[in-house]
Structure 1
Amino acid sequence: MSKSKKTLYIDYNLCIGCESCEAVCGYLYGQPRIHMTRTSDGITVPISCHHCANPACLKACNVNAFYQDDEGAVILQPKTCVGCMVCLSVCPFAAISHSRTGPNPVAKCDLCAERRAKGMTPACVEICPCGAILFGSPEIIEAELRQRVAEGIVQSHMHPERFGTQVGLRAMKKSVSVEGYAAGTAEKEEDQGS
Structure 2
Amino acid sequence: MKVFVIDLSVCNGCYCCQIACKDEHVGNDWMPYARPQPDTGQFWIGLAEKVRGHVPQVRVSYVPNLCHHCDDAPCMEECKAEAIYKRDDGMVIIDPEKCIGCKLCADTCPHNAIFFNDQLNLAQKCTGCSHLRDSDPEEWTEPRCVDQCPTEAIRFGEESDFADFIAEAEPYRTEAGTKSRVYYKGLPKKFIAGTLYEPNDKEVIIGASCTLTDEESGEVFTETTNNFGDFWLENLKDNRSFTLTLEKDGYSRTITGLTTDIDRGLGDIPMDMKG
> Given the two structures, how large is their TM-score scaled by the length of structure 2?
0.48
2:162 corresponds to: 141
Q: Is the 8 A contact 2:49 2:62 kept in 1?
A: yes
Q: Is the 8 A contact 2:81 2:99 kept in 1?
A: yes
2:132 corresponds to: 115
Mapped to 2, the partners of 1:111 and 1:104 lie a distance apart of 22
Mapped to 2, the partners of 1:104 and 1:131 lie a distance apart of 35
Letter of the structure 2 residue corresponding to residue 141 of structure 1: F
* C-alpha displacement of 1:38: 2.7
Letter of the structure 2 residue corresponding to residue 35 of structure 1: G
Distance 1:14 1:100, change over 3 A: farther
Structure with more of its chain in strand, by fraction: 2
2:179 corresponds to: none
2:152 corresponds to: 131
Mapped to 2, the partners of 1:54 and 1:136 lie a distance apart of 20
Mapped to 2, the partners of 1:99 and 1:14 lie a distance apart of 33
**1:37-59 CA deviation, whole Å, 9 max, x = no partner?**
23353533211111111211111
2:8 corresponds to: 12
Q: Does 1:34 align with 2:30?
A: no
Q: Is the 8 A contact 2:146 2:154 kept in 1?
A: yes
1:86 corresponds to: 104
- For residue 46 of structure 1, the aligned residue among 42, 64, 79 is 64
Q: Does 1:105 align with 2:152?
A: no
Report 1:144-155 matches (<5 A). Answer: none
Letter of the structure 1 residue corresponding to residue 17 of structure 2: C
Mapped to 2, the partners of 1:63 and 1:50 lie a distance apart of 21
Name the % identity: 33
* C-alpha displacement of 1:99: 2.6
* C-alpha displacement of 1:131: 0.4
**1:114-151 CA deviation, whole Å, 9 max, x = no partner?**
1111211111111001101111122212235679xxxx
Give the match's secondary structure for 2:131: helix
Q: Is the 8 A contact 2:2 2:89 kept in 1?
A: yes
**1:140-192 CA deviation, whole Å, 9 max, x = no partner?**
12235679xxxxxxxxxxxxx9xx9xxxxxxxxxxxxxxxxxxxxxxxxxxxx
* C-alpha displacement of 1:73: 0.5
Between 21-30 and 32-41, the greater mean CA deviation after superposition:
32-41
Distance 1:129 1:65, change over 3 A: same
Letter of the structure 1 residue corresponding to residue 129 of structure 2: C
Q: Does 1:57 align with 2:45?
A: no
Structure 2, unpaired ranges of 5+: 27-36, 38-42, 53-59, 169-225, 231-275
- For residue 85 of structure 2, the aligned residue among 67, 89, 104 is 67
Between 137-146 and 122-131, the greater mean CA deviation after superposition:
137-146
Mapped to 2, the partners of 1:123 and 1:81 lie a distance apart of 25
Distance 1:109 1:82, change over 3 A: same
